[in-house]
Structure 1
Amino acid sequence: TLSSDINDSIKRYMIVTKGLKTGQDKRFVRFFWECSEERRWTIYHKGGGYCRWYGNEFWCVDWYTHRNRVALRVAETQPPEKFTLLVRDERYYGQTDLVFSAMGRGSLGVRRVERGIASDAAQGLIP
Structure 2
Amino acid sequence: MDFEQPLPREVKVIDSVSLFRLEEQAVDLRLSQRLDPAWVRANAAPDGTHYLWPTLWHSLSHRPDVPRQVRCELLITLRAGDRVLSLLDVIPDDFTPLPRVTSREEGMQVRRLLDQAPSVREWLLREGEGPDRL
Q: Please, what TM-score do these two structures have when normalized by structure 2?
A: 0.31
Determine which structure has the larger helix proportion and give its number: 2
- TM-score of the superposed pair, with normalisation by structure 1: 0.32
Higher relative contact order (Cα pairs below 8 Å, separated by 6+ residues): 1
